[in-house]
Amino acid sequence: MPKIKVALAGVGNCASALVQGLKYYAECGEEGRCVGLRNLVLGGFRPRDIEVVAAFDIDGRKVGEDLSEAIFAQPNNAPKLVDVPLSNVMVYMGSVLDGVGEYTKNVVQVSSHPEENVAMILKESGAEMLVNLLPSGAVKASQWYAEQALVAGCAFVNATPDFIASDAAWAQRFAMAELPLVGDDLIDQVGATTLHKTLLQLLSMNGVRIKETYQLDVGGGTESLDTLGRTKEIKRVVKTKSVEAALPYQAAVVAGSTDYVDFLQNRRDSYFWIKGVHFCNVPMQIDLKLSTVDAPNAGSVLLDVIRAVKMALERKMKGAIMPICAYAFKHPPQLMSIEAAEKLFAEFVAEEV
Ligand SMILES: NC(=O)c1ccc[n+]([C@@H]2O[C@H](COP(=O)([O-])OP(=O)(O)OC[C@H]3O[C@@H](n4cnc5c(N)ncnc54)[C@H](O)[C@@H]3O)[C@@H](O)[C@H]2O)c1
Q: What is the pLDDT of residue 1?
A: 62
CA-proximal residue: ligand 1, atom 29 (nearest): 99
The residue nearest atom 25 of ligand 1, judged by CA position, is: 10
For a pocket test of ligand 1, which of 223, 226, 329 has the largest count of ligand atoms closer than 8 A to its C-beta? 223
**Which tens digit of pLDDT belongs to each residue from 8-17?**
999 999 999 9
Q: What is the pLDDT of residues 91-102, one digit of tens each?
A: 999 999 999 999
pLDDT of residue 288: 97
How far is the CA of 194 from the CAs of 30, 164, 190, 245, in angstroms?
28, 22, 7, 11
For the Cβ of 191 lying below 6 angstroms from any atom of ligand 1, the answer is no
Q: Is the CB of 222 under 6 A from ligand 1?
A: yes
- In order of 242, 264, 288, 342, the CA distances from 217 in angstroms are 16, 12, 12, 26
How far, rounded to the nearest angstrom, does the alpha carbon of residue 163 sit from its chain's CA centroid?
13
- Say yes or no: CB of residue 234 within 6 Å of ligand 1: no
Burial of 208 (0-12, 13-18, 19+ CB in 10 A): middle
Is beta strand 282-293 parallel, antiparallel or unpaired with respect to 267-278?
antiparallel
Task: Quote the ligand 1 centre to 136 CA distance (angstroms).
Answer: 7
**Confidence (pLDDT) at 336:** 85
Please give the distance, rounded to the nearest whole angstrom, from the Cα atom of residue 14 to the centre of ligand 1: 7
CB of 301 shorter than 6 A to ligand 1:
no
Provide CB contacts within 8 A for 269, sequence distance 6+.
217, 218, 219, 289, 290, 291
Q: What is the pLDDT of residue 34?
A: 83
Query: What integer pLDDT is reported at residue 32 of this predicted model?
Result: 65
Which among 90, 133, 189, 217 is the best mutation to test ligand 1's pocket, defined by most ligand atoms within 8 Å of the CB? 133
Cα(57) to ligand 1 centroid in Å equals: 10
Cβ–ligand 1 distance for 70 under 6 Å, the answer no
Atom 27 of ligand 1, residue of closest alpha carbon: 99
Nearest Cα residue to atom 33 of ligand 1:
57
**Which residue, judged by its Cα, is nearest atom 7 of ligand 1?**
186
Could you tell me if the CB of 162 is within 6 A of ligand 1? no
Cα separation of 183 and 213, whole Å?
Answer: 26
pLDDT tens per residue across all 353 residues of the chain? 669 999 999 999 999 999 999 999 998 766 667 899 999 999 999 999 999 999 999 999 999 999 999 999 999 999 999 999 999 999 999 999 999 999 999 999 999 999 999 999 999 999 999 999 999 999 999 999 999 999 999 999 999 999 999 999 999 999 999 999 999 999 999 999 989 999 999 999 999 999 999 999 999 999 999 998 888 888 898 889 889 988 999 999 999 988 999 999 999 999 999 999 999 999 999 999 999 999 999 999 999 999 999 999 999 999 999 999 999 998 999 988 888 999 999 999 999 77
Q: What's the chain's average pLDDT?
A: 95
**Which amino acid, 185?**
D
* Chain centre to alpha carbon of residue 65: 24
Distance CA 344, CA 339 (A): 9
